[in-house]
Amino acid sequence: MSAYRHLLKELVYATYLVSKGGQDQDGNPIPPQWADPIPIRCRVEDRQELIRAKSGDEVVSKTQLITETPIHENYRFWLPGTEPTDPSKAVEPLAIGSASTLDGRTRLWQVWF
């Protein structure tokens, strides 16, 4: 049983790019292919914070997500109130961080939007 499970009461969905698409042998466009939505139990906080984005720039984050689910750099998220049906509506994180316990294992991931 997780020590944090009682704090992670919200559910968001994530996806990742399976195939970038491109063109078939006849030159017809092939759209990008996204993975099926992955449910992620988390805590979502709407608050502004100045962070350093993946690009290296300082930006203002308006939403933070905290979860026990490992988060990868290529994930995109549907935040609460957004239906996980259209990959173009999935939001790319500004930054992703993690927190380790004293035994060195990563237990929590934080995502800024």
Residue ranges and CATH numbers for the domains of the chain are 5-112 (2.40.10)
Model confidence at 97, pLDDT cuts 50, 70, 90, reads very high
Q: What is the pLDDT of residue 30?
A: 86
Q: What is the pLDDT of residue 1?
A: 52
**In the predicted model, is pLDDT for residue 2 greater than 70?**
no
Q: What is the pLDDT of residue 54?
A: 87
Kindly give, in sequence order, each residue whose CB lies less than 8 Å from that of residue 78, ignoring residues fewer than 6 positions away: 12, 13, 14, 15, 37, 84, 89, 90, 91
Q: What is the pLDDT of residue 42?
A: 95
The answer to whether the beta carbons of residues 52 and 61 sit under 8 Å apart is: no
pLDDT, tens digit, 9 for 90 and up, residues 9-57:
999 999 999 888 888 888 888 888 999 999 999 999 999 999 999 889 9
Kindly give, in sequence order, each residue whose CB lies less than 8 Å from that of residue 55, ignoring residues fewer than 6 positions away: none
**In the predicted model, is pLDDT for residue 7 greater than 70?**
yes
